[in-house]
């Protein structure tokens, strides 16, 4: 079973095999963690996102794709598209679970040993932070319980104090 940790700081500085990007469906960069990753990683990430977009039109909510990490400390970026919170009646919980599951599956398919997740969908997408954290922790714990995995280390990287406090209470 992988070691699960919580860290407060900047996900773009994590020296892991993959950091997860809370991306948008068009893989165009944007605000929050998505913009920070693209700015810090340089143009190589966007060039691979462009190729993915040309091949499959983007990345649907709940799915994940992998690219280089460009100039980041990580080796790869796994881009996943979290759900926009619409009160909880539009399958948001299942879509958020899928973000974590599909990112972990992609990491395993590439033989990665370490991964760092941001707090997916809790920024401009408005998912309630406590609920999102509970879904994230339960989903990764379940994944590690039922899947054979190459992952040895998983870190939830929280940028703000509130998410950090929530995750510390759950791990």
Please tell me the predicted confidence (pLDDT) of residue 30.
Answer: 84
Q: Which helix (H) or strand (E) holds 104?
A: helix 92-109
Q: Taking the model in full, what pTM does it have?
A: 0.96
Q: What's 75's domain CATH number?
A: 3.40.220.10
Is the separation of the CB atoms in 30 and 39 below 8 Å? no
Is the separation of the CB atoms in 11 and 72 below 8 Å? no
End-to-end CA separation in angstroms for the chain:
14
Q: How many domains does the chain have?
A: 1
| Residue owning tokens 């079973």 | 1
Interval 125-155: pLDDT, tens: 999 999 999 999 999 999 999 999 999 999 9
Share of the chain above pLDDT 90, in %: 94
- Choice among 10, 34, 54, 161 that is catalytic: 34
Domain extent, residue 129, equals: 3-170
Taking residues 75-100, what's their average pLDDT?
96
Taking residues 101-113, what's their average pLDDT?
97
Is 108 one of the annotated active-site residues of the chain? no
Is the separation of the CB atoms in 153 and 2 below 8 Å? yes
| Residue owning tokens 């992998």 | 66
């Amino acid at each position: 079973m992988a070691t699960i940790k919580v860290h407060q700081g900047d996900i773009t500085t994590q020296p892991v095999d993959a950091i997860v990007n809370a991306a948008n469906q068009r893989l165009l960069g944007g605000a929050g963690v998505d913009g920070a990753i693209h700015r810090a990683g340089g143009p190589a990430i966007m060039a691979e996102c462009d190729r993915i977009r040309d091949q499959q039109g983007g990345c649907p909510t709940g799915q994940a794709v992998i690219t280089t990490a460009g100039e980041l400390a990580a080796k790869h970026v796994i881009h996943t598209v979290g759900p926009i919170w619409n009160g909880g009646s539009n399958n948001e919980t299942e879509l958020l679970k899928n973000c974590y599951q599909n990112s972990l599956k992609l990491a395993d398919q590439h033989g990665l040993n370490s991964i760092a997740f941001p707090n997916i969908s809790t920024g401009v997408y408005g998912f309630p932070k406590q609920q999102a954290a509970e879904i994230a922790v339960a989903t990764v714990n379940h994944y590690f319980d039922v899947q054979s995995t190459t992952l040895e280390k998983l870190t939830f990287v929280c940028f703000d104090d509130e998410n950090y406090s929530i995750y510390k209470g759950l791990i």
